[in-house]
Amino acid sequence: MAALRTIEAAEITAAVARLCGEADIELPQDVRRALEQARDQEESPVGREVLARLIENADIARRERLPICQDCGLAVVFVDLGQEVHIRGGSLEEAINAGVRQGYQDYYLRKSVCHPFTRANTGDNTPAVIHTRIVPGDRLHLWVVPKGGGSENMSRVFLLTPAVGLEGVKQKVVETVEAAGPNPCPPIILGVAVGGTFEQAAVRAKRTLLRELGSANPDPEAAALEAELLELVNRTGIGPAGLGGRVTCLGVFVDIHPCHIASLPLAVNIQCHAARHKEVVL
Amino acid sequence: MSQPVRLTPPLSDEQVAALTAGDRVLISGTIYTGRDAAHKRMVEALDRGEDPPFELAGAVIYYVGPSPPPPGRVIGAAGPTTSYRMDPYAPTLIARGLKAMIGKGKRGEEVKKAMQEHKAVYLAAIGGAGALMARCIKQAEVIAYPDLGPEAVRRLVVEDMPLIVVNDVRGGDLYQEGRRRYQR
Ligand code: SF4
């Protein structure tokens, strides 16, 4: 039997704290590049100005160590835990939540988690939303994805009738973007999952948001749908900040998965241009 | 694009009526912050016959819940939040003299009607440009509901805050007009 590799819970906490801060302050380079491209392509003068200001905003945030956006998000954490890893000194979940608590404090991030009815703030941005997979190997891979409320509120899950097929899926994606309009801070990124079950579609849609903008999808069927959806969504005219323009969406990520013979689940996770995610391998 | 209109609150009916959807605006002076939780309390206070935490006549409200100020700063990131959550409360405040709301995203029909009836406008700030917007904020002070944390009501002193008119007093709506122009 292979020896277990030990990772200290404190190490996980420190990594998560740092990732929270860096994610909220440093816009990923792929997103910045996509915003630059969008600015050069946009036909609307107001749209171009919005995009230029978003790039400026990202640069100010990075330089002055301020969050890109005041909505520093609910901390969504994806974990790929190698099955040969042994965590010592506390539970994985506690270690992650301690990291969120510390990161949101140390980096002056907004705490945006509350009780659903009383709306009383938990005060430290916990609990995090944690999605864990057990994978081969002796590594621990962590991704921190702070998710803002504005774009999350515009996301949708549909349990479609199989008869609507591919056309029905495309129509629902476009309808979701049109209904959202200016609310989720366009230009947006779309995470689309087709298949699976009710809950799996939503998680898979969110997981696609870890991909790099412009990266090729290895599944040719999904890649074709990505290109087509991007074209359709950018015909809506919503544009940067919803003020009208050609660039409504910077990229579409599609994940297609088998589902029940009676079902056609579709999840559309809308991500705003503040597409924050940071990862580390321990 | 035309030159931006410079405005300093409190705003008059005439100043507000002169604005058209699509106009660019630069606001300098005193404005107030509020999100849904603060709006709920303000409207409840008004219903009980109490005074609001600030003078509503001519006032400008910015829908924002800033991030905490790092040491040496007056405020953290401070971009707009999505406005529809304030829709249930906005008509009451507009009827009491509120002249401008700053946020992002679409407004409901009731709010648009109230804007036309009582002369008020809805201005968009760029959603997600929190670090950039913080630069226009020169002073910030919590004046009501401190227990709401980021959602407390703050008095802000701003300088050249860049905005764009979305809804004017004649029913103009930039979100609809802008989209129509670029739709294919
Ligand atoms: S939708 Fe995104 S960019 Fe817009 S306010 Fe929310 S977190 Fe910020």
CATH number of the domain bearing residue B40: 3.20.130.10
For A141-188, the pLDDT digits (tens) are 999 999 999 999 999 999 999 999 999 999 999 999 999 999 999 999
Quick check: B129 and A57 CB within 8 A? yes
What pLDDT, on the 0 to 100 scale, is given for residue A2?
63
Give how far A239 is from chain B: nearest CA, Å: 7
Per the structure, the count of domains in chain B is 1
CATH 3.30.1330 domain residues, chain A: 150-275
End-to-end CA distance of chain A: 21
Please give the single-letter amino acid code of residue A152: E
Chain A CB within 8 Å of residue B107 CB = no
Q: Please say if the pLDDT value at position B1 is more than 70.
A: no
Q: Is the C-beta atom of A270 inside 6 A of ligand 1?
A: no
How far is ligand 1, taken at its centre, from the CA of residue A148, in Å?
A: 5
**From CA B52, how far away is CA B49, in angstroms rounded?**
9
How far is ligand 1, taken at its centre, from the CA of residue A19, in Å?
A: 18
**CA-closest candidate to residue B106, choices A182, A240, A233, A237:** A182
User: Which residues make Cβ contacts (< 8 Å) with residue A71, sequence separation at least 6?
Assistant: A110, A112, A148, A149, A150, A274, B65, B79, B81, B130
**CA-closest candidate to residue A22, choices A67, A64, A69, A57:** A67
Residue A86 phi, psi (nearest 5): -115, 125
DSSP characters for A63-98? HHT--SSS---EEEEEEEEETTEEEESS-HHHHHHH
**From CA A259, how far away is CA A222, in angstroms rounded?**
15
Closest Cα in chain A to B166: A243
Q: Please say if the pLDDT value at position B61 is more than 70.
A: yes
How far is ligand 1, taken at its centre, from the CA of residue B130, in Å?
A: 9
How far is ligand 1, taken at its centre, from the CA of residue A219, in Å?
A: 30
Quick check: A68 and B177 CB within 8 A? no
How far is ligand 1, taken at its centre, from the CA of residue A99, in Å?
A: 22
For B72-98, the pLDDT digits (tens) are 999 999 999 999 999 999 999 999 999
How far is ligand 1, taken at its centre, from the CA of residue A72, in Å?
A: 8
Quick check: A243 and B124 CB within 8 A? yes
* Contact residues on chain A for B77, CB-CB shorter than 8 A: 61, 66-70, 72, 110
Q: If one looks up domain A150-275 in CATH, what number appears?
A: 3.30.1330
Q: Please say if the pLDDT value at position B39 is more than 70.
A: yes
Q: Which helix (H) or strand (E) holds B27?
A: strand B24-33
Per-residue confidence band for B184, with pLDDT thresholds at 50, 70 and 90: confident
Per-residue confidence band for B2, with pLDDT thresholds at 50, 70 and 90: confident
Q: Is the C-beta atom of A188 inside 6 A of ligand 1?
A: no
Chain length of chain B: 184
**From CA B144, how far away is CA B24, in angstroms rounded?**
30
For B100-148, the pLDDT digits (tens) are 999 999 999 999 999 999 999 999 999 999 999 999 999 999 999 998 8
Chain A CB within 8 Å of residue B97 CB = no
Residue identified by tokens 């939040």 is B81
Helices (H) and strands (E) in chain B, counts: 6, 7
| Tens of pLDDT, residue by residue, chain A (282 residues) | 568 999 999 999 999 999 999 999 999 999 999 999 999 999 999 999 999 999 999 999 999 999 999 999 999 999 999 999 999 999 999 999 999 999 999 999 999 999 999 888 999 999 999 999 999 999 999 999 999 999 999 999 999 999 999 999 999 999 999 999 999 999 999 999 999 999 999 999 999 999 999 999 999 999 999 999 999 999 999 999 999 999 999 999 999 999 999 999 999 999 999 999 999 999
* Contact residues on chain B for A57, CB-CB shorter than 8 A: 126, 128-132
Chain B CB within 8 Å of residue A187 CB = no
Which of A66, A106, A112, A119 to mutate: most B Cβ within 10 Å?
A: A66
Q: Which helix (H) or strand (E) holds B112?
A: helix B109-118
Partner B, chain A 57-116, Cβ-Cβ below 8 Å: 57-58, 60-61, 64-72, 108-112
**Which of A66, A121, A238 comes nearest B179 by C-beta?**
A238
The distance of Cα A169 from the centroid of its chain, to the nearest Å, equals 21
Chain B CB within 8 Å of residue A37 CB = no
Quick check: A71 and B65 CB within 8 A? yes
Q: Please say if the pLDDT value at position B62 is more than 60.
A: yes
DSSP characters for A237-262? ---GGGSS-S-SEEEEEEEEEEE-TT
Give how far A110 is from chain B: nearest CA, Å: 4
Tokens of A47: 């749209």
Q: Please say if the pLDDT value at position B155 is more than 90.
A: yes
Quick check: A71 and B84 CB within 8 A? no
**CA-closest candidate to residue A180, choices A267, A269, A94:** A269
**From CA A56, how far away is CA B168, in angstroms rounded?**
28
Domain, as residue range, for B92:
5-182
What pLDDT, on the 0 to 100 scale, is given for residue A119?
86
What pLDDT, on the 0 to 100 scale, is given for residue B150?
86
Could you give the ipTM of this predicted complex?
0.93
Partner A, chain B 2-41, Cβ-Cβ below 8 Å: 22, 37
